[in-house]
Amino acid sequence: MTKEEIFFMQENVAKIIIEQLGWKSHKFITFPKGIALNPNFYPNNWCIARSNKATIVSQGYMIVLIDGKKYNKITEMIEDFGEIILESILDWEWVATKEWVIRDNDGNWIKSFDNFYNCPFRTVVKC
């Protein structure tokens, strides 16, 4: 696995991984490099996977510094630099990052993780 694969993956591969973990994939945001796996690419409460008892959503607040300018959304960075900015993702200065959060159907927090390589098996979190 390359460091870039923490951020992007081909959609068909991501769906297989999510399903092997016991979740049903939901809706992804796509870039030229593939679908985004990192929660910082999604607005809060964006559902990327679900089960009958829970959802996995992006949650939190992101801050990235590029050339001394603070960004709170990836879309703002793309507006300023174009999608070429994604080529330098490994050089970004991350100050704060979002998480993937597993919530039950009543909205209660179950578990959080920072990237899909740390996603728990659905049965482990009893969802």
Mean pLDDT for 116-125 is 88
Domain count, the chain: 1
DSSP for the chain, written as a single string? --GGGGTEE-HHHHHHHHHHTTPEE----EETTEEE-SGGGS-TT-EEEE-SSEEEEEES--EEEETTEEES-HHHHHHHH-GGGGGGGGG-EEEE--EEEEEETT--EEEEESSGGGPPPTTTTT-
What is the residue range of 97's domain?
Answer: 3-118
The tens digit of pLDDT for each residue in 25-64 reads 988 999 888 899 899 999 999 999 999 999 999 999 999 9
Mean pLDDT for 21-26 is 93
Q: Is residue 49 part of a domain?
A: yes
Q: Is residue 126 part of a domain?
A: no
pLDDT in the model for residue 106: 94
Q: Is residue 124 part of a domain?
A: no
Q: Is residue 112 part of a domain?
A: yes
Q: Is residue 85 part of a domain?
A: yes
Q: Is residue 123 part of a domain?
A: no
